[in-house]
A and B are shown apart, each in its own frame.
Chain A
């Protein structure tokens, strides 16, 4: 699986990430959380060579990502970027079809296999009824499902998501994360979600990595990481992890800013 070794990254003189060491567990949903500007998105960029580490390395099955072409990486790792606003009137099907790009040469159209994979991805993402709609006429939540379908069409082993629910309505946030956790269970997809939303992370992630002061402050099972102490130190809030009485799932109860209590 994907792992990092002494990963270091900086912008100009300022270090953003230092000594990042971890390995993904196949099939898990890992949440990367931390306050704004802590380097979450930078870390995610390093995990698929959108950014190149300034020190250390990122390995996939013992191969350094730096030794792989972007196209080879795209066959294994799919990414849902932070923004999905697409201004051109591509149809949903056209967008999902682009997921097959890493597998095609120039001038090469879709093979029968490609078409089957595309249909399958559309069905799994639950957007079968909107394949001919224009992407630029859709809501944020619908667009996000289309991008997820495109990612599935890449037949990846790992899915990286950068704030996947950032601009969505609350109900759409649950829709998207329910879909992702279902895909992770059914398809064995390994998912990394970058988020600043503690409650969403607590509810959906198997493991959590907390980033603070350029490094991993804590990493492990949700219960072990989302302790009042950790949340106070990293997010400056007075908060505790509890169970939602109706669903029995993890949630974070926020009492308020740490400074006031």
Chain B
């Protein structure tokens, strides 16, 4: 017990230190590295040139933390309630669903005045619709087979992604915006957009934590959870709604960022165990740190490469690391 508690504490401390260091380096990076004094001047004085730059950097850190955290929590919850290591917002097609809604809103519906509200709303509606469709397709009678769930997620995801590509193709003069957004990019989000996703993400994470004990029971199987007094159908429906909301909030202004929701909860489960009471909050923090870190790398590379979408980096880092972990740890701790 105490061994486990100290491990959890260690992980939290490491993550917080990593977050602090990343934040500091992100803040001092303004096409060159500022010294601490220059950073202080930029923050404290009204008229500094660097003030704007620092403002941009603060935004990247905030968005990275929120979006990375939201994706990681969605992944943690989905892996648990579907009892499937491969479940994640990306694999089950939710990210594509949310993308389709957001892209539709951007291209056809929204005028610039209403864009900020219609994009997340559309993203949520299509994301939820995707979830219901995937889950409904996988359901035979009263049972949901996990393989069928993954396959229908992949199939629906591919279909939706094709629709997003079609929209992109039709985008005309908005083409570069949409393409860039589609690859996952957290540097272009405005403060008011952040103001919209913050309450959504906080609510979603809070609901996941509220039900963490029920999620633990559901990880053993529906029959086990029911016998421990969990109203499985109700709790699963509530969680699916809020996971869709989290995914939509993460995707709507930022685009599709893969592998955070798959890899982060998986690694955290290996480090601190599967108990969702600690796993969910720590996954939020870890997802945030992971995405802020990837975004910092993207930021630095952008000097030579132009603005680099962070989604490319998360996939480049996430996919091989996941394969490595799977090979090495599979037999020791299951998944």
A: which residues have CB within 8 A of B?
48, 50, 69-75, 78-79, 81-91, 93-95, 98-99, 101-102, 104, 106-107, 134, 136-137, 147, 154
Contact = CB atoms under 8 A, between A and B. Distances in A.
Nearest to A99: B228
Contacts of B273: 89-91, 94
Contact of B275 (A82, A84, A94, A101): A94
Contact of A101 (B85, B217, B219, B221): B217
Given A73-B229, A90-B219, A104-B213, 5 more contacts: A87-B334, A88-B219, A106-B210, A106-B211, A134-B334
A98 B217 contact: yes
B227 A88 contact: no
A86 B230 contact: no
Top-9 shortest CB links A-B: A74-B229, A71-B229, A81-B223, A79-B227, A136-B334, A102-B229, A88-B274, A89-B333, A70-B229
Interface of B: 1, 80, 83, 85, 210-211, 213, 216-217, 219-221, 223-224, 226-231, 269, 273-275, 333-335
Given A101-B213, A106-B210, A106-B211, A86 B221 contact: yes
Contacts of A136: 333-334
Contacts of A79: 223, 227
Contact of B333 (A78, A85, A101, A134): A134
Contacts of B80: 88
Given A87-B335, A106-B210, A70 B220 contact: no
A73 B273 CA distance: 30
Nearest to A12: B141
Contacts of B85: 87
15 contacts: A50-B227, A78-B227, A81-B224, A84-B224, A89-B269, A89-B273, A90-B216, A90-B219, A93-B1, A95-B220, A101-B213, A101-B228, A101-B229, A106-B210, A106-B211
Contacts of B229: 69-75, 101-102
